[in-house]
Structure 1
C-alpha cells in the first residue's frame, strides 16, 4: 500500500510540472476537443449512445480497437480514417510531454539528493 501512495505523490508532482507547460495545455485541450468531436460525430452519425460514442472514440484514438463497436456507415468509416491519423499525433504528443515532465521530475529529485 505504501508504494501506491508514493506513486500517487510522484504522479501529483509530474502533473504539476505538466500543467505549467503551455504546450502541454494546448495538447491536452486538443485531445479533449478531439474526443468531444468524435463522441458527437459517432452519436449523431453511427447512432451510438453518448457513452458508447465516447468509449469508441477513446479506443480508436489509443489504437486499442477492441472491435466490439465499429463504424457501419460509409461516412463513419471515412471520418474514422482521418480521426485515427489526427488522433495518433495528438496522443503521441501527450505521451512525449508526459515523458519530458517525468524526466524533469527525476532530474529535480536527483539534484535535491545531491545537495
Structure 2
C-alpha cells in the first residue's frame, strides 16, 4: 500500500476550528481520527468540568448523540468524580440506541442515571 493509497483510504474527521489540535494535518501526513477524537475529548471534558464547577446538579442531554466512545466516557466519568468531590452530581438523560448500549456496557449509564429514570428503561 503506497502513501497516496493510505491517504485516500483513511477518512478525515470533521472538527471544529475551536478545538485545539484540529484542522488539516501538516503536508505529507495522513489525517487521523485520534487527532480529532483527542481534541473532542479535551473540549468535552473542559465543558463538563466548567458545568459541574458552576452548579451542584448538572443534567447532560444526550438525546442528539448517535455515537459515544471511550473519549466521551472519559469526559463523563471525569466530570462525575469532580462533581462528587465538590458535593455535586451530574446526570445523563435521553441516551438511546448505540449510545445507551455503550453506557450500559461500561456501567456509566447507572453511574449517571437521573433519579426520575428509575423505571429501568433503556432511554436515559
- Is TM more than 0.5 here? no
TM-score (norm 2): 0.28
Quick check: which has more Rg, 1 or 2?
Answer: 1
Which structure has more relative contact order (CA 8 Å, sep 6+)? It is 1
Between Structure 1 and Structure 2, the one with more helix by share is: 1
TM-score (norm 1): 0.30
